[in-house]
Structure 1
Amino acid sequence: MTNDTAPDDDGLQWYRALGPDELPERRVTAVTCGGTTVCLTHYDGQYAAIDNACPHQGGPLGEGSIENGLLRCPWHGWDFDPLTGQSPGDHDDCVLIYDVEERADGIYVGFPADEPRERTVSDVMVETMTNWGIEHVWGIVGHSNLGLADAFREAESRGDLSYYGVRHEGAASFAASAYGKLTGRPAACFSIAGPGATNLLTGLWDANVDRSPTLALTGQVATQVLGTGNFQEVDLEAAYGDVALFEQTVLPSSDHAELMTRAAKTAILEGGVSHLIFPDEVQTISAASAEVGGPDGRLTRRDIAPPAASVEEAVDLLSSAERPLIIVGHGARFEMEQVVELAERLDCPVVTTFKAKGQLSDHHPLAGGVLGRSGTPVASHFMNESDLLVVFGASFSNHTGISEYKPTIHVDRDPMVLGKHHAVDVPVWGDVGVAAGQFTEHLKDSLAAKSQRAEVADRWDIWREEKATRRAQPAERGVNYATVFDAMSRLLPDDAILPVDVGNNTYAFGRYFECADHTVLMSGYLGSIGFAFPAALGAWAATQEPNSPFAERPVVSVSSDGGFGQYMGEVTTAVKYDMDLTHVLLTDNELGKISKEQRDGGWPVWQTDLVNPDFAAYAENCGALGVRVESPDELEDKLTEALDHEGPALVEVLTDTNPV
């Protein structure tokens, strides 16, 4: 309700703060005028405007009351004259007072002409952050991070970054982690001190164990009260000690640009979480002439060649193998061209770990699908029949299904991953793409390997016939998993980005969905329920980058009701930022995977049932498109409607609880 006028002869900028007779006698209210909040008082027939912040603890005077002729602070009861801002008696406490005029159309408050915004420590660090290419931030603005938030606002106004306000900090960290997994570049998550910072931890552990470059920026209580048990004080260095590869509290005397540089560089080079803690008052320290940092001269090329002796040992094994099998993990995601060239030279199948699903199209004539618990019979067949495993960028998780007794070549850029769980025949330390290229280059003209191309096609024919029989099986209710993922395989755009959750729905996705040029994102080693929808927020941000390889690609996330229920409030985030994404929600009204584990382990099924709303109606209530599928004959039309919708859409599909 504020109307700007030109500055008058005294240099004051006047704002209309209240309408005539809007504030009753002996009442107070807080009004924001031109970015400044003041306490308006009406007492003894006069109006006054005083600073809204009590000088003792910052209490909001506009939420106080006039008692016995004095304005009382609502936080600790200190009194001030409601017209002059003076404290009674001998106290010299006082509150800044502003000029007030009563005019025909209301009450006006005069402010000194705006001073230029002062550059702060937060500005220096945010400018350094964006110089390092960290251009997306998900978070929640709050009382202990306002200085840093204002630096984000300034950077966003310049077009240097995009900020997304979420409903829960866990969604912020999952979004940042998913962005890092997709692009290989870091994004940031942002919170207040205390509970906001602790809420980030689950998503940050996801980034940690999946080696996704991520920056966590948390507020903190003022340095003068650190260690005193102040309101919302948590020892964040201790809380983040295991999850963060780099961590530092930002102090007044810190080299602020260098701290951000170290944080960004660590996240990028080591693949994981960097954490910076911003005490409240440090965020607004003046830094008018401070220089910013950036990556120039601070990063080296990382396409490191393996030792020649390792290449020679690997090539000897490759040359003599009759049925080699290539296995790729998530660590090979940006190097698949060289890996596929090697596979074509050997004419051997390529299978993936579940986390690497989609890194090679299932329609490639040498693709063998996913190996392990979420995998296909195609992949397990070639694992059983192989006489040599060539493993790129995988870490041999117990879910993966990589046989330990087979002769093995293992390539990874992290030497600690090589032979992590058991000895391998040839550990090769180096860049995946460089190593695969050198293997191909040094292979002999005559190889022992026999072409397995026709066998790959035969095994897919067998599996696809089996899938057809499973689609024909009646579901307990709604639509069975095989039918859902068959429809999605046919109807989704070939280049869709697919964040998926955990649970029966994800096991079925791994088994039944056939990837074309899709990119799959998941919570790999952490296996956190609730990942999919926040990850879709992170993936969508990457699609908005005009020069990105992910630009304008569709985002379609998948979860069950158990996972979606954890972050369903983020539908409003997708609506707020008009995110064009689709969520496929498979509803079975229980934590189906846990029920299965209870049954398989001889336990009674207990406390896994869920009480759900109509999720499609919920999405509509949030402002998104919501459609509901209750039978197989509705599936394709409803899924197509959601995919064609411009903006956020949710397809709720009623399913049975059996993922087979």
Structure 2
Amino acid sequence: MTAAAMKEAAEEPQTEAATGAKLLVDALAAQGVETVFGYPGGAIMPVYDALTSSSLRHILCRHEQACAFSAAAFGRMTGKPGVCLATSGPGATNLVTGIADAYMDSVPMVAITGQVAQPVMGTDAFQEVDIFGITMPIVKHSYIIRDAADVPGVIAEAFEIAASGRPGPVLVDIPKDVQQAAAHPAPVNVERAPAPALDDDGLRRCEAAIRDAERPLFYLGGGITRAGAVDAVRRLVERAGIPAACTLHGLGVLPSDHPQLLGMLGMHGSRAANLAVQECDLLINIGGRFDDRATGRLDGFAPKARVVHFDRDASEISKLRHADVSVHGEFGPSLDSLYPEPGHIDPWLATTAGWKFEYVAPYDAPGEGIYAPALLRDLSLAAGEGFVAVPDVGQHQMWTAQHCHFTRPQAHLTSGGLGSMGFSLPTAVGAKLAEPQSTVVSINGDGGFMMNIQELATLNRYRIPLKVLVLNNSRLGMVRQWQELFFDGNFSEVDLSDNPDFTKVAQAFGIDAFTISARDEVAPGIERFLAAEGPILMHAIIDPAENVWPLVAPGKANDEMMEG
């Protein structure tokens, strides 16, 4: 080092040395993190030692998978990365499902795992797994921190990567000796990628396509929410006057009662939305990825339409369906720079409005038993604008999407790409902590509820005033429905009639709970459910033979819908 460099270094303020664990918790606080979800163990213990003197609130979940789901809920609600912590080995591998779920649904999250000390890495040490390698296909980026001085910079970079562009999870693996080592933190210098330039040519071509179309349709996907472009989309839809359909993750981009919204498209979409997709001559896809559950048979999807595809991730454009017009870039500036002038579309508007009126969902099911679609509709309306639905995966997930009313995308948190059973309860815990003022409802089937039922202990420990609904048909309902329809009624391993009494289980965990089984108990049940000040569980017994309709069968186009 030259004399001048030594002088300059001597004049710079010297930061105090700290352990890697202390640098980690301070780095999280510097990113604005207030709450982390985790479960301690040997290889992450120095971090837990540092947590007790930090500003971070730690939520002890009862399974690491729940830690990941709860952390990702923060990303789903706020757009900012949630944080989960786990030890090495089984602690780290238990995070994998939650990490994969966040990756599939483009949710920002930072997962931090302890690792065995560097001198024994690669020796099959106790609780050693290569979590870096295991998670490589399901993260945006991964780190193994080798030097405690690098901790602040890695954490800052991890947060930037998780939230920028197309969001997703980032893994940070930190060996135990790095957590224990003392170091002066290296300077933090995170480069932010510049926003892509406005695609003016694509926008003008889109405007021309809209002018030429007679039957245009907006296709609204989950990428809109991840990009923070809901308001821009609403402004565009209003000034264009074009009808719209949405994907499962696009629910709430337009309020459920918006006059231009035809509903959800796809396998369990509305008949109006699916017919519109099949008959449109211009499909304007904003933030959708042509997922197979939305398109049905891809070569039969929107067969009469030219396609305009807006996406901030260039790799999605023309990946599954050729885009006649592509618009790459940030949604907000792009959509606010689009000035559509539709041509003669009045007959099309009349046709789509007619479909929407004709195919409205009925709620007058026969019998005295609880009709789940009606219960969910009534619950969402009674909860009002503060309603946040967090369904698990299965029939009740589709009933929630079809029948609940949503005022914004954050009112509907669902596992779309991965379809993870056990998703609801821990995700709802995270959502309620992210938005304490909202009426967050964990909506479960009896199958998925059993997969993370231990999180009732988390509700009780922190007295989180979450509302838990269990729709119990004593079956794996969606599997049973498919076995009935496509496997000649050969019901294999779908009987869950040996479930415990969920009301008694919840009470054993210290949670207020009650059971309803008849239709005339629904209204007072909803009233009690919503009025509760603490955590509460409503156990609703429903018909095991009830199916979700409509349904587009595998290999069929979206206008070939089966009805009950």
Scaled by the length of structure 1, what TM-score is found?
0.75
Question: What residue is the counterpart of 1:606 in the other structure?
Answer: 492
For residue 282 of structure 1, the aligned residue among 173, 178, 202 is: 178
Aligned with 1:419: secondary structure? coil
Deviation for aligned residue 1:346: 2.5
Distance in structure 2 (CA, Å) of the matches to 1:293 and 1:473: 65
SS state of the match for residue 346, structure 2? coil
Determine the C-alpha separation between the residues in 1 that align with 2:189 and 2:530: 40
- Give me the whole-angstrom Cα distance separating, in 2, the residues matched to 1:291 and 1:637: 60
1:299 shift after superposition:
3.2
Does structure 1 conserve the Cα–Cα contact (< 8 Å) formed by 2:38 and 2:61? yes
Matched, 1:495 2:381: no
Higher relative contact order (CA 8 A, sep 6+): 2
Q: Distance in 2 between matches of 1:236 and 1:345?
A: 49
The partner residue of 1:351 within 241, 245, 258 is 245
1:491 deviates by: 1.5
Offset of residue 510 of structure 1: 2.0
Q: Which residue of structure 1 lines up, in the alignment, with residue 306 of structure 2?
A: 407
The 1:237–1:358 alpha-carbon spacing in structure 2 relative to 1, beyond 3 Å, is same
Matches within 5 A, 1:447-458: 447-450=343-346, 458=354
Q: Which SS does the other structure have where 1:416 is aligned?
A: helix
Structure 2: gaps (5+ residues)? 1-15, 549-564
Which residue pairs with 1:200 in the alignment? 95
Name the CA shift for 1:148/1:563 in 2 (closer, same or farther; >3 Å). Answer: same
Match of 1:515 in 2: 406
1:607 alignment partner AA: E
The residue identity in structure 2 corresponding to 1:390 is I
Aligned equivalents of 2:242 and 2:347: distance in 1?
6
Indicate conservation of the 8 Å contact 2:290/2:321, yes or no. Answer: no
Match of 1:188 among 53, 67, 83: 83
- Confirm or deny: 8 A CA contact 2:307 2:322 kept in the other structure: no
Structure-2 separation of matches of 1:377 and 1:623: 44
* Counterpart AA for 1:278: I
Number of equivalent positions:
521
For 2:453, the aligned partner's letter is M
Q: Residues of 2 paired with 1:628 and 1:497: CA distance?
A: 22
- In structure 2, the residue matched to 1:99 is none
Q: Which runs of 4+ in 1 moved over 6 A?
A: none
- The alignment status of 1:532 with 2:429, answered yes or no, reads no
Query: Which residue does the alignment assign to 1:621?
Result: 508
Identify the match of residue 164 of structure 1 among 59, 64, 67: 59
Whose strand proportion is higher, 1 or 2?
1
After TM superposition, give the deviation of residue 395 of structure 1 in Å: 0.3
| 1:139 pairs with 2:44 | no
Give the residue type in structure 1 aligned to 2:49.
D
Whole-Å separation in 1 of the counterparts to 2:187 and 2:28: 9
* 1:473 counterpart = 2:366: yes
Residues 451, 337 of structure 1: CA spacing in aligned structure 2 closer, same or farther, 3 A cutoff? Answer: farther
Q: Residues of 1 paired with 2:101 and 2:309: CA distance? A: 24
The sequence identity of aligned pairs, in percent, is 29
Aligned letter for 2:269? G
C-alpha contact (below 8 Å) 2:21/2:47 kept by paired residues: yes
Letter in 2 for 1:566: M
Given the alignment of the two structures, is residue 150 of structure 1 paired with residue 49 of structure 2, yes or no?
yes
Q: What is the CA-CA distance between 1:453 and the residue it aligns to?
A: 5.8
TM-score, structure 2 length as denominator? 0.87
**Residue 277 of structure 2 contacts residue 302 of structure 2 at CA under 8 Å; is this kept in 1?**
no
The answer to whether the aligner puts 1:634 opposite 2:525 as a matched pair is: no
Query: Which residues of structure 1 form unaligned runs of 5+?
Result: 1-116, 545-551
> Does the CA contact (< 8 Å) of 2:516 and 2:541 recur in 1?
yes
**In structure 2, what residue type is equivalent to 1:420?**
K
Asked if the contact 1:128/1:294 (under 8 Å) is kept, the reply is no
Residues 221-268 of structure 1 deviation map (CA, whole Å, 9 limit, x = unaligned): 222222222211112222222222222222246522222222222112
Any residues of structure 2 matched to 1:283-362 within 5 Å, and which? 283-287=179-183, 289-290=184-185, 293=188, 298-299=191-192, 302=195, 304-333=196-225, 334-362=228-256
Residue of structure 1 equivalent to 2:435 = 543
Q: Indicate the SS of the match to 2:141.
A: strand
Query: Using the alignment, how far apart are the partners of 1:480 and 1:301 within structure 2?
Result: 51
Is the contact between residue 595 and residue 608 of structure 1 (CA under 8 Å) also seen in structure 2? yes
Aligned counterpart in structure 2 of residue 121 of structure 1, from 20, 26, 40: 20
**2 CA distance for matches of 1:139 and 1:149?**
10
**1:173 aligns to 2:173 (yes or no):** no
Measured in 1, the distance between the counterparts of 2:351 and 2:438 equals: 33
AA partner of residue 659 (structure 1): N
Give the secondary structure class of the aligned counterpart of 2:418. coil
